[in-house]
Structure 1
């Protein structure tokens, strides 16, 4: 597997841990910690996938997701919401806005890797995850 992932997460230790897990699995991970500049970071880095927290400074993950889905170049970009917000209404809102997957913190490394692999496979075959 492999490819470029943009991890939008404001907690530095979480960014580092997720980056380590994914890089060991062959992914190139770039971290970004500010919601206000996240859309620009997606445009600049052109990732194969975005992992997105909901609670971010500047713009929320929901606002970022909406902007990604509204953009011509990012409408089909796989987005995994990875957040501490585990309530059903948050998950439903994310899927209604176009999230491809949703994991809550804390998560297992195996679940994270399996979800990322599933999204990458769906993108490669042109399917929605």
Structure 2
């Protein structure tokens, strides 16, 4: 079992992803925005972060930048999800150090495959 922090301002997405991950043996934690995500990571570091790109106040890109600046943040697997997976969003995510970028709506099988892949080099699955 691994701890996955799901960061999304949409309660429906949090519920769907949380249920999916819990049914597959993950310990799921939630944050509704960037500041709450950074606090959750500081308080009880997860094994992986599933991070929405478009959130009010602090974007997922800004959260990713802050994660990567923290001690050990470069080793924390981050999977970003976005409904706007255009070239500029993708470029910003990849240059920011994201491990994977997935489109919304989230494909459950693809998400589980990504977490399984990350598990080969981390504690994600």
TM-score (norm 1): 0.90
Structure 2: state its 5+ residue gaps.
none
For these two proteins, the number of residue pairs brought into alignment is 123
Q: Name the structure, 1 or 2, with higher relative contact order (CA <8 Å, separation 6+).
A: 2
Residue equivalent to 1:33: 32
Please give the residue correspondences for 1:41-120 in structure 2 after superposition, counting only pairs within 5 Å.
Answer: 41-120=40-119
Which 4+ runs in 1 deviate beyond 4 A?
none
Is the contact between residue 7 and residue 52 of structure 1 (CA under 8 Å) also seen in structure 2? yes
Task: Report the alpha carbon displacement of residue 86 of structure 1 after superposing the two structures with TM.
Answer: 1.1
Task: Report Cα offsets for 1:14-68 as digits up to 9, x if no partner.
Answer: 1010001111111011111022332111111210000000111221100000011
Measured on the aligned residues, the alpha-carbon RMSD in Å equals 1.2
Q: Which runs of 5+ in 1 are unaligned?
A: 125-129
